[in-house]
Amino acid sequence: MAKTKEPIWWSLFGAGGMISAVLTPITVILTGIAIPAGLLSIEAFDRLIHHPLARLYLFLLIVFPLFHGAHRLLFTLVDLGLKGMRGTLAVVLYGSAIVLSILAIVLLIRLSP
């Protein structure tokens, strides 16, 4: 049973790896450097974040990297010797990714323009 579900988690992991590799650095620069340095005004950022495309962008950048992180952390913890707890860890990690994703989707939908 676990074997047949593996491709789902793996493709979410792969998508998350690619999306965060391409988009996370520039986004971190925007929220962590451009805003504090005043290169991007808070007012403009507030306007921008409500745009449908910005919300789609945030959806991609929140949801897929969560599954990427859950997958990598699961295997890291297993490699560190928690092999016996693999089932529990999988439920906790993938479960957290699912719950946080639903929360993100609800918030992004509520963030109407």
- The least distance separating other proteins from the CB of residue 34, rounded to whole angstroms, comes to 8
55 vs 110: CA distance, rounded Å: 10
Please give the C-alpha separations between residue 55 and each of 10, 26, 46, 60, 80, in angstroms, as whole numbers: 25, 16, 12, 9, 37
Q: Which is nearer to other proteins, 85 or 103 (CB)?
A: 103
Helix (H, G, I), strand (E, B) or coil at 38: coil
Per rule CB under 8 A, is residue 85 in the interface with other proteins?
Answer: no
Per rule CB under 8 A, is residue 52 in the interface with other proteins?
Answer: no
Per rule CB under 8 A, is residue 47 in the interface with other proteins?
Answer: yes
Pick the binder of other proteins from 66, 89, 90, 94 (CB under 8 A).
66
- Residue 18: closest CA among 64, 71, 72: 64
First to last CA, the chain: 43
For binding to other proteins (CB under 8 A), which residues are involved?
A: 14, 17-18, 20-36, 39-51, 57-58, 61-63, 65-66, 68-73, 75-76, 79-81, 97, 100, 103-104, 107-108, 110-111
